[in-house]
Amino acid sequence: MWTIVECAAATRRIPKRSGGRAHPAGGQIAGPGASGRRVAGGAGGTCAGSRTRRTTRQLQLGHDETVTRLLAWVSMSTWLPHLRVSFGGTLGTPAAEIWANSIRFKSSPNFSATAPSDEIDSAALDVALPLMVAPIKTWIAAAPSKISNYATCTWAKLAWIKADGHQRDVATHVVEVTAPNAGNSNLIPPYYQTFALTFRTDKRRGRAHSGRIYPPMVAAALQGNGYIAPTDGDGMVGTAVTLLNALAAAIQPDGSGSAPVYPVVASPATATGPDAGGALLQRVTGIVVDLVPDVQHRRTNQLKRVETALSAVTGAVGT
């Protein structure tokens, strides 16, 4: 393990001994086997206000460059064009947090994981958009979905995703979802708690072999063993299957109502690693749910932390 010792005068890398840490004023490394070690630096060989960091500090020093490279990779990623259906809303009464889910679809008479979707023009998206609302509302309100009635769906959106990963249309295809648009369960779990719905393909590993969504505030009662009842899980899967089938039926590139449309898991092309290869759109062949509760930490972004008043500890030490 290495420790980075930083100061205005000098920065040196020295081995970190067990329990070592920087002396706050003298640049020393204090701890077993390291007591009295001093880092050469400013006047008198000390480094006032020295700070130490573990190896993660080295990574942090390159954080900006890493982020820049990551963003560049995203901007240069090559995708197979497809359709993305998104919907979301609020959590709490009054609304205190937000949530969103996205599911991707492909239209193709002869399905191939390495071929793009048949393009769906803007006019067809406008036709499909209002047809999606009813299946989404049905899914949210269905008792087997176990979604809390404190979760509300307020919007739905369609977007054609180009090969560069961005939306094709400048005008956003979005529609307001009106009441009744809330869940059915009377239970109120934490906003970030839910049960993940996993979309399986016919691939067991590798890119795009599975995907998942986190429905909002799924409020199923736990059994004593920490799991929900398998019948509750089966109910969640059943309504999710109905949702995906109904959304696929609503998305028709030619308006015929019979064009084959499939839910898919998407992955961009990658040039490195054991799964290097071109972009993929793997067809979703089934859905499962984990019977253990899951969390979606992004659903704690809006809700501010509020602490109680401080309670003093009055016990005397050493008496």
Domain boundaries, the chain: 2-61, 79-300
CA atoms within 13 A on the CB side of 288: 7
Helix (H, G, I), strand (E, B) or coil at 46: coil
CA distance 208 to 113: 10
- Residue 280, strand partner residues: 267
**Segment of 45-49, 110-114, 153-157 carrying the highest mean pLDDT:** 153-157
The CA-atom distances, in angstroms, between 161 and each of 39, 136, 164 are 55, 21, 8
- Starting at the edge strand found earlier in the chain, the sheet holding 82-91 runs 173-176, 151-161, 82-91, 97-107, 261-267, 280-283
Reply yes or no on whether the pLDDT at 35 is more than 70. Answer: no
Token digits of residue 113: 């994981």
Closest CA to 159 of 198, 119, 199: 119
What DSSP designation does 257 have?
S
Is the pTM of the predicted complex or chain greater than 0.75? no
Reply yes or no on whether the pLDDT at 46 is more than 50. Answer: no
Determine the average pLDDT of the residues in 75-86. Answer: 86
pLDDT band at 65, cuts 50/70/90?
low
Token digits of residue 127: 């036709």
β-pairing verdict for 197-200 and 82-91: unpaired
pLDDT band at 16, cuts 50/70/90?
very low
pLDDT (tens digit, 9 = 90+) per residue, 103-138?
999 998 888 888 999 898 999 899 899 999 999 999
pLDDT band at 10, cuts 50/70/90?
very low
Torsion, Cα 176 179 184 185, to 10 degrees, reads: 80
CA distance 3 to 146: 50
Q: What is the pLDDT of residue 217?
A: 93
CA distance 132 to 83: 13
Q: What is the pLDDT of residue 64?
A: 55
CA distance 217 to 219: 6
pLDDT band at 173, cuts 50/70/90?
very high
Q: What is the pLDDT of residue 66?
A: 52
> Which of 20-24, 138-142, 150-154, 269-273 is the least confident region?
20-24
